[in-house]
Amino acid sequence: MIRHLWQTHRFALMAFIVALCALGFFGVRTISSTIYWMDPDHQNQALAGWMTPRYVMRSYQLPPDVLGPALFLVKDAAPRRISLDTIAAENGLTMDDLQIRIDVAAAQMRADREALRDD
């Protein structure tokens, strides 16, 4: 069967194999990411210097327009990988100060969301 497909429909068989590999890769990636972020230990995690804004955004479930101002990120600036240690040093803050800023931003966003639900 495979030999027949290889001899008569080589391109289609190769495309199918590539598609199957892509499906496997993205399926495993999605499942592992879901398992990781469903773990309560990774939600609202205390800040550490190695974390990036993207990690904090996922951990605290904050959109970029809420987290950006709390971490002094410019909206239209070129994207760059930066750690919270670097952000704190550039702005003369400690990790505790950043934690307070993020907690305040998260609380404000949740309060705004509740106010919209009540209306």
Residue pLDDT, tens place only, 22-38: 999 999 999 998 898 88
pLDDT at 97: 94
pLDDT, tens digit, 9 for 90 and up, residues 43-58? 888 899 999 999 999 9
Q: At what angle do helices 53-60 and 95-118 cross, to 10 degrees?
A: 40
Nearest alpha-carbon partner for 44 in 109, 95, 106: 106
Residues of the chain with pLDDT under 70: 119
Q: Which residue has the tokens 């008569």?
A: 8
User: Which pair of tokens denotes residue 72?
Assistant: 């002094």
pLDDT at 7: 86
pLDDT at 41: 78
Q: What is the DSSP letter of 78?
A: P
